Amino acid sequence: MKKFINDPADVVAQALAGLAAAHPELRVDTEEQYIARADAPRPGKVGLVSGGGSGHEPLHGGFVGPGMLDAACPGEVFTSPVPDQILAATKAVDGGAGVVHIVKNYTGDVMNFQLAAELATDEGISVETVLVDDDVAVEDSTWTAGRRGTGATLLVEKIAGARAEEGGKLGEVAALGREVNAASGSFAYALTAVTTPAAGRPGFDLPADEIEAGVGIHGEPGRRREKLRPAKQLVRSALDAILDAKSFPGPVIVLANGLGGTPLIELYLVYGEVAAYLAERGVPIARQLVGNYVTSLDMAGMSLTLCQATDEMIRLWDAPVRTPGLRWGA
Amino acid sequence: MDVTLARDWMRSAAALIAADVDRLTRLDSEIGDGDHGVNLNRGFTAVLAALDKTPPETVSEVLVKSGTTLMSRVGGASGPLYGSALRAAGKALPATPEVQPSDLVAALHAGLEAVRKLGGAAPGDKTLIDAYVPALDAFEQAVAGGADLAGAAGAAARAARAGAEATIPLQARKGRASYLGERSIGHQDPGAASTSLIFQALAEVA
């Protein structure tokens, strides 16, 4: 394993210290392990808190700032934050109007946020939870823990964040977040396994000519293994899976996302194929974003997310945002 | 069981997990993300520090403090599950310096109930429940048959180990491994493996 680290046990704490040094506009609490807007709590504003395992940067700490999240709590690498940490972040951003927790559907995240929400409620803070479960690779059945939350998390955080910024009430912001999630679908491919600092070696062996299809964002194997094919074919398969799972008459917001180890030249190539195929399928694109946003450490791979967007969602997508990982109009 | 034995149990669990970090991590790499051993080791190291800092006076306090520490230090699914199991077990015990095997039966039932409530898993879902349930059954039967703590804990440890091994052919229906579908078949569940270590730890000190 070759990584720019000092000790596998200190990676998250030391990365937080670096984030604090790089972004004085954020308040980074290295003791309680959360990242908050410097001006939080803002009286009367609904607070947005997200979190999950580290290793998905810029998700979530990189999305803290005006127009998006009020706080993020990063757990250990690929491990959800603990209830105390989520509670501290929640209290730090509660301006009296309540707090929305944005939670990806992974068992650990769900349990820890649920415990934190109970603790916050005991302290008189109103909490609403938005569960993100956009990954169409997983069949939504009683035989699994449900679908995973992946790329759509960014869309939920951006759109609900914009609504909270302009004064939306707690129930309204949470309902909008759920609406964005319900309108979104994602599918991902991995070209390589990841190496977590703790494990020190790749999570699985993958022959040079094979890929994992239907992966999440924690370096685990996907639903199945396939032969590597040209990008054009992979994009079409991924989009077919998404278009089959949900209704997308358009217009859609598209996220072509790198999983951490894929260069932008490949992501732009992929996006070109996405645009061509959606045109062929008659799905108009309203907005698009290409880059490494919801990552899985050093995994070479990509995920595609489509969101069937309303005019209101597009307006809020365009609203100003000023965070380390996403910034426009401000 | 007295307070010293309860602390020895946690010490023994910490030692067994520390010794098996690599195996637990490898099991988790196969069907999860490869950090189960590291996470539990971090949690139990914190448990020992917490028990040393303010030594508890009852068995109940040992378990509640251990559970609370796991919940606040581990994260993921194992933090809440193992943490709430120990907390619930501790809370179900009488606040006396010493507890009887029959008290422990009731405590283990309370711990299982907490895990079920939080995780929603049933036997056969390929989770820690598949080691916990047979261990509890064996412990309860041994106590009903007049066994002492050592005898009951030994029976529980053997049943937990067999239960963990029996998860190998199962398809996961809960937790992160469930996203792999049929590909989760053929691998031992890391949660069942570590649960078996915790029962083994009790058998070693009882």
pLDDT along chain B (206 residues), means of 10: 97 97 90 87 97 96 97 94 97 95 97 94 95 98 97 98 97 87 91 97 97
Contact A169, A290 (CB under 8 A): no
Do the Cβ atoms of B34 and A198 come within 8 Å? Answer: yes
In the block, tokens 């823990």 appear at A145
Of A111, A140, A224, A298, which to mutate for an interface test with B (greatest number of B Cβ within 10 Å)?
A: A111
CB-count exposure of residue A225 (10 Å: 0-12, 13-18, 19+): middle
What pLDDT is attached to residue A200? 84
Residue A216 dihedral angles phi and psi, to the nearest 5°: -95, -145
pLDDT < 70 regions, chain A:
140-143
What pLDDT is attached to residue B159? 98
What pLDDT is attached to residue A57? 97
Alpha helices in A11-82 (DSSP H): 11-22
Partner B contacted by A70 (CB < 8 A):
no
Is A218 catalytic? The answer is yes
Residues paired with A328 in a beta bridge: A321
Rounded distance, CA A102 to CA A84, Å? 16
Residues paired with A322 in a beta bridge: A327
What pLDDT is attached to residue B57? 95
In tens, the pLDDT along A242-297 reads 999 988 988 999 999 999 999 999 999 999 999 999 999 999 999 999 999 999 99
Provide the b/e sequence for A84-112 (b: ≥16 CB within 10 Å).
Answer: bbbbbbbbbbbeebbbbbbbbbbbbbbbb
Q: How many residues does chain A have?
A: 330
Pick from A157, A142, A138: which is nearest to A56 by CA? A157
What pLDDT is attached to residue B180? 85
- The DSSP H or E segment spanning B205 is helix B190-205
Contacts of B80 (CB under 8 A, 6+ apart): A83, A108, A111, A112, A115, B71, B118
Provide the b/e sequence for A149-158 (b: ≥16 CB within 10 Å).
Answer: bbbbbbbbbb
Rounded distance, CA A257 to CA A289, Å? 8
Is A101 catalytic? The answer is no
Provide the b/e sequence for A33-70 (b: ≥16 CB within 10 Å).
Answer: bbbbbeebbbeebbbbbbbbbbbbbbbbbbbbbbbbbb
Rounded distance, CA A79 to CA A218, Å? 9
Looking at chain B, which runs of residues are DSSP E strands? none
In tens, the pLDDT along A138-167 reads 876 666 778 999 999 999 999 999 999 999
Going across the sheet that includes A99-104, the strands are: A26-29, A34-37, A71-77, A47-54, A99-104, A127-132
Chain A residues with CB under 8 Å of B174 CB are 107, 145
Residues paired with A327 in a beta bridge: A322
Q: How many residues does chain B have?
A: 206
Chain A residues with CB under 8 Å of B182 CB are none
Do the Cβ atoms of A77 and B35 come within 8 Å? Answer: yes
Q: Which two tokens stand for residue A250?
A: 């358009």
What pLDDT is attached to residue A251? 96
Do the Cβ atoms of B76 and A138 come within 8 Å? Answer: no
Residue A263's CB is within 10 A of a number of other CB atoms, namely 11
Residue B139 dihedral angles phi and psi, to the nearest 5°: -60, -45
Which residue pairs from A7-10 have beta carbons closer than 8 angstroms and sit at least 24 positions apart in sequence? A8/A197, A8/A198, A8/A200, A9/B42
Contact A160, A182 (CB under 8 A): no
Chain A residues with CB under 8 Å of B171 CB are 143
What pLDDT is attached to residue A142? 61
How far from chain centre, in Å, is Cα B185? 23
What pLDDT is attached to residue B33? 78
Rounded distance, CA A28 to CA A322, Å? 16
Q: At what angle do helices A264-281 and A231-245 cross, to 10 degrees?
A: 50
Contacts of B1 (CB under 8 A, 6+ apart): B9, B59, B98, B99, B101, B104, B149, B206
Contacts of B110 (CB under 8 A, 6+ apart): B88, B89, B91, B92
Rounded distance, CA A309 to CA A313, Å? 6
What pLDDT is attached to residue B136? 98
Chain A residues with CB under 8 Å of B183 CB are 221, 223-224
Partner B contacted by A1 (CB < 8 A):
no
Dump the DSSP string for B111-161: HHHHHHHHH---TTSSSTHHHHHHHHHHHHHHHHTT--HHHHHHHHHHHHH
Provide the b/e sequence for B4-18 (b: ≥16 CB within 10 Å).
Answer: ebbbbbbbbbbebbe
What pLDDT is attached to residue A126? 98
Rounded distance, CA B79 to CA B127, Å? 14
In tens, the pLDDT along B116-165 reads 999 999 999 999 999 999 999 999 999 999 999 999 999 999 999 999 99
Partner B contacted by A22 (CB < 8 A):
no
Do the Cβ atoms of B175 and A223 come within 8 Å? Answer: no
Contact A156, A177 (CB under 8 A): yes
